[in-house]
């Protein structure tokens, strides 16, 4: 028996990375040696010390029961302490921090807490698809603000119509940015916070890549004076500690927003397994191998960029994230180029249009494979051209 989908599901485009994964599986089934530069999933293992902390926690029968919805107080305190060390931001662990089953979960649930049908949510374009999808599922209207190279891939705040701003409940931003790898400066965040106060919307900053940087450490939106009046920040241990499969992150900032998010979560999930929270506490308190992780990505970045440039690509090294965002060669759109690269070079890249209509003309590659395979991928792509 076939059942018809709800109208809200019909409004969603196919999830980008699921479609890419299907195409990759088809090539692998054909016996091809596929190099995957598509999904940003670190290939390096979780640091051994974090794994050992998890093993110890697993032996504690107290953690075999339901966890708390908002997270263990010790975990929330570890988050607050890390924010103080890293950003010099003061957080109250009892009201301004909550655990998440990965930052994606919190981002997806936020519109359900604050968006009514007909409300706008401002979404960066190109951007992480979950900003758009969660808005649609919550009954809101996504308003896509373009991220353009000539504006350093920052939203032009002055270009947003006042009639949109008046009905905006959430403004999603993400720096260091996926997919463009761009950074936001203090001046941009100051302008955004002022705009949020003027129009009464929530600033939701996705900072999942803040610890993958190569020169200067990126800033937190919460470093801006008065930011906690309107802002929350989503963070994750996934990229910082190679813990993507562990599914643990946090939301921090405005206590009213945190309460709303927790209320949604109490009706949908049962919190994060507390043994994982124990491992996360160890990670936040000790930060094992973070410098080595950054150094490895930097070596990969430098090797990959060098080979791409030798093969005629005009590509700039990113200052943060493990993504390369670059224009498609002349004569292609992003999908046709990605298809040709997969079919003829057996390399998976992500078409820019998958991140929004303003991503057209670009494609994204990740640094989540070895230097040797990155060099091989660059040479294969060059041969296609």
Q: Is 44 exposed, middle or buried (0-12, 13-18, 19+ CB in 10 A)?
A: middle
C-alpha–C-alpha distance, residues 146 and 134, integer Å: 19
Task: Describe the strand order of the beta sheet including 97-100 as a list of residue ranges.
Answer: 97-100, 249-253, 231-236, 202-206, 168-174, 120-125, 141-146
Give pLDDT, residue 210: 98
Q: Over the chain, what is the mean pLDDT?
A: 95
C-alpha–C-alpha distance, residues 101 and 77, integer Å: 17
The Cα angle at residue 251 between residues 201 and 350, in degrees rounded to 5: 85
Give pLDDT, residue 67: 96
As a whole number of Å, the end-to-end CA separation of the chain is: 47
Give pLDDT, residue 208: 98
Using alpha carbons, select from 243, 291, 237, 265 the residue that is nearest to residue 75.
237
- Predicted confidence (pLDDT) per residue in 191-229, tens digit: 999 999 999 999 999 999 999 999 999 999 999 999 999
Helices and strands (H, E) in the chain, number of each type = 13, 12
Give pLDDT, residue 199: 98
Domains and CATH numbers, the chain: 7-45+290-384 (3.90.1150.10), 48-286 (3.40.640.10)
DSSP-derived secondary structure letter, 262: H
Give pLDDT, residue 366: 97
Please check whether residue 374 is in contact with residue 367, taking contact to mean a CB–CB distance below 8 angstroms.
yes
C-alpha–C-alpha distance, residues 221 and 183, integer Å: 12
| Residue stretches of the chain with pLDDT short of 50 | none
Q: Which residues contact 91 (CB under 8 A, 6 or more apart)?
A: 79, 80, 83, 84, 97, 252, 253
pTM of the model: 0.96
C-alpha–C-alpha distance, residues 180 and 277, integer Å: 31
């Amino acid at each position: 028996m076939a059942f018809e989908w709800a109208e809200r599901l019909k409004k969603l485009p196919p999830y980008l990375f699921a479609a890419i994964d299907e195409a990759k599986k088809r090539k692998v089934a054909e016996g091809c040696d596929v190099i995957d530069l598509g999904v940003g999933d670190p290939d390096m293992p979780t640091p051994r010390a974090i794994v050992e902390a998890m093993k110890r926690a697993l032996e504690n029968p107290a953690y075999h029961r339901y966890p708390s919805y908002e997270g263990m107080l010790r975990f929330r305190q570890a988050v607050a302490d890390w924010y103080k060390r890293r950003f010099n931001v003061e957080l109250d662990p009892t009201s301004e921090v909550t655990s998440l089953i990965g930052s994606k979960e919190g981002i997806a649930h936020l519109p359900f807490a604050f968006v009514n049908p007909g409300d706008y949510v401002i979404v960066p374009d190109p951007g992480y698809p979950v900003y758009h999808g969660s808005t649609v599922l919550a009954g809101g209207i996504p308003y896509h603000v373009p991220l353009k190279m000539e504006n350093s891939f920052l939203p032009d705040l002055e270009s947003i119509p006042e009639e949109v701003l008046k009905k905006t409940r959430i403004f999603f931003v993400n720096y260091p940015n996926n997919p463009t790898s761009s950074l936001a400066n203090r001046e941009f965040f100051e302008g955004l916070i002022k705009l949020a106060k003027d129009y009464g919307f929530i600033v939701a900053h996705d900072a999942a890549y803040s610890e993958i940087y190569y020169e200067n450490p990126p800033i937190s939106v919460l470093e801006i004076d008065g930011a906690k009046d309107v802002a929350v920040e989503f963070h994750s241990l996934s990229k910082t500690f190679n813990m993507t499969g562990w599914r643990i992150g946090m939301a921090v900032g405005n206590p009213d927003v945190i309460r709303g998010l927790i209320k949604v979560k109490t009706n949908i999930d049962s919190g994060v397994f507390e043994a994982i929270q124990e491992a996360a506490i160890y990670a936040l308190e000790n930060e094992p191998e973070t410098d080595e992780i950054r150094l490895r990505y930097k070596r990969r970045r430098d090797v990959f960029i060098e080979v791409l440039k030798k093969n005629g690509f005009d590509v700039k090294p990113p200052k943060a994230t493990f993504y390369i965002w670059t224009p498609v060669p002349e004569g292609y759109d992003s999908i046709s180029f990605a298809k040709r690269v997969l079919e003829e070079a057996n390399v998976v890249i992500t078409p820019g249009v998958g991140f929004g209509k303003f991503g057209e003309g670009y494609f994204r590659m990740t640094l989540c494979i070895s230097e040797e395979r990155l060099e091989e991928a660059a040479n294969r792509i060059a041969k296609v051209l």
